[in-house]
Amino acid sequence: MKVESRLFLSIGVFFFPVAGVYAFFSHAEPVGSAAIFLVGLLCMMIGGYFRLLSGRIDERPEDDELGEIDQGAGDQGVFSPWSWWPLVIAAAAALVFAGLAVGWWLSAIGGGLAVIGLTGWVFEFSRGQHTH
Amino acid sequence: MAAPHTAPHVSVNRPNPVSVGTIVWLASELMFFAGLFAMYFTLRSTVPAEWAAQTGKLNVTYAAINTLVLVLSSVTCQMGVWAAERFQPVRTGSILAVRTWGMNEWMTLTYVMGAIFIGGQVFEYASLAHDGLTISTSPYGSVFFLTTGFHGLHVIGGLIAFLFLLGRSFTAKRFGHHEATTAIVVSYYWHFVDVVWIALFIVIYLLK
């Protein structure tokens, strides 16, 4: 994780002086000064988290210069094989925004569908055949 | 020396993709708030007279107490995460024995504190409207309600996330990695929203 961490941290550090230079030459124009400074924080946030992780986990196969592909075999994490629920949530979001053009009553229906979709999505791996 | 490692591992210790994804998404949320800060500072530099006229209506002490509630809710949230990392959903002792609390108790307390923050904000909005400051009465009102309002919506989103987290915890007969991961990423979000509020509080209430 050290490479990823250094990459994001150094990009983050780059943006702080850039924000200062921009603020100086633009006579403290607020939009760019705030945005460039926060781009620096964005990178520092990801880089800092990777740094924290690199202390918590062992070296990964990809951290080893002589690592082989098959060393990465095994548990990669938990992934959903497929799910209909994101489609329900997308339909709900479409209804909510269509409501802005058609009328608020449609947004209300979309909101109700969003509650159903979100609940189904969140609990998909807690119930039915996945009860644990 | 790759040769000694070539035997396939049963499991590899790698970063949890849910946690990494949450952090990357929160970093993009930072840019959403960057837009709000940019809007606030732009209007402040173009119509400074508005700030001189309107900021006196803010009740800084009241907002500071409300801020304290939100900051302390981050502490209780973290206690809940540590309980989740012990895979302990419920308390082992009396409800008054705080040290034996599990994740459910800590996260419920966090939820209540977040709800108090939102309730406090509603009262603050009502008193500002009473003093003639609304989103449409002045440029200051627009940026004040847009910045604090979008933050408030994020807090409400966090409250909904806590309900889902507690729902998952109650549904699970065995509290495992699935539930613990949910607790951890919800806490990332909560801490992020808390830090953003501290920045907003300093900019809006202290710097004025």
Section B155-165 average pLDDT: 97
Q: How many CB atoms lie within 10 A of CB A89?
A: 16
Residue B165's pLDDT is: 96
Q: Contacts of residue A60 in chain B, CB cutoff 8 Å? A: 12-14
Residue B185's pLDDT is: 96
Q: How confident is the model at residue B98 (pLDDT cuts 50, 70, 90)?
A: confident
Q: Is A27 on the interface with B (CB under 8 A)?
A: no
Are B41 and A57 in contact (CB < 8 Å)? no
Share of chain A above pLDDT 90, in %: 67
Residue A129's pLDDT is: 80
Q: Contacts of residue B27 in chain A, CB cutoff 8 Å? A: 42-43, 45-46
To the nearest 10 degrees (0 to 180), the angle between helices A85-102 and A104-122 is 170
Q: How many CB atoms lie within 10 A of CB B126?
A: 9
Beta-carbon contacts of residue A105 (< 8 Å; ≥ 6 apart): A99
Residue B12 has pLDDT above 80, yes or no: no
pLDDT digits (tens, 9 = 90+) for B137-155: 989 999 999 999 999 999 9
Q: Contacts of residue B16 in chain A, CB cutoff 8 Å? A: 77
Q: Show which of residues 170-189 on chain B sit within 8 Å of chain A, judged by CB atoms.
A: 171-174, 176-178
**A84-to-A97, B29, B34, B70 alpha-carbon distances in Å:** 21, 26, 34, 36
Q: How confident is the model at residue A75 (pLDDT cuts 50, 70, 90)?
A: confident
Distance CA(B167)–CA(B6), nearest Å, equals: 43
Section A29-42 average pLDDT: 93
Q: Contacts of residue B6 in chain A, CB cutoff 8 Å? A: 68, 70-71
Residue A22 has pLDDT above 80, yes or no: yes
Q: How confident is the model at residue B2 (pLDDT cuts 50, 70, 90)?
A: very low
Residue B127's pLDDT is: 95
Residue A64 has pLDDT above 70, yes or no: yes
Residue B184 has pLDDT above 50, yes or no: yes
pLDDT digits (tens, 9 = 90+) for B67-91: 999 999 999 999 999 999 999 999 9
pLDDT digits (tens, 9 = 90+) for A84-101: 999 999 999 999 999 999
Is residue A34 within 8 Å of B41, Cβ to Cβ? yes
Q: Contacts of residue A78 in chain B, CB cutoff 8 Å? A: 18, 177-178
Beta partners for A75? B11
Is residue B200 within 8 Å of B153, Cβ to Cβ? no
- Closest partner residue to B178 (CB to CB) among A39, A71, A125 is A125
**B12-to-A2, A29, B54 alpha-carbon distances in Å:** 17, 49, 58
Between chain A and chain B, how many beta carbons pairs sit less than 8 Å apart?
A: 113
For residues B88-120, one letter each, b for 16 or more C-beta atoms within 10 angstroms of the residue's C-beta and e for the rest, the string is bbebeeeeeeeeebbbbbbbebbbebbbebbeb
Q: How confident is the model at residue A5 (pLDDT cuts 50, 70, 90)?
A: very high
Share of chain B above pLDDT 90, in %: 78
The pTM of the full predicted model, rounded to 2 decimals, is: 0.91
Q: Is A39 on the interface with B (CB under 8 A)?
A: yes
Distance CA(A119)–CA(B196), nearest Å, equals: 27
To the nearest 10 degrees (0 to 180), the angle between helices B103-130 and B60-85 is 160
**ipTM confidence:** 0.90
Residue B11's pLDDT is: 42
Section A48-60 average pLDDT: 89
Q: Is B4 on the interface with A (CB under 8 A)?
A: no
Section B172-186 average pLDDT: 92
Q: Contacts of residue B17 in chain A, CB cutoff 8 Å? A: 76-77
Beta partners for B11? A75
Q: Show which of residues 7-66 on chain B sit within 8 Å of chain A, judged by CB atoms.
A: 8-18, 20, 23-24, 26-28, 30-31, 33-35, 37-38, 41-42, 44-45
Residue B10 has pLDDT above 60, yes or no: no
Residue B67's pLDDT is: 96
Instruction: Please provide the average confidence, as pLDDT, over all residues in chain B.
Output: 91
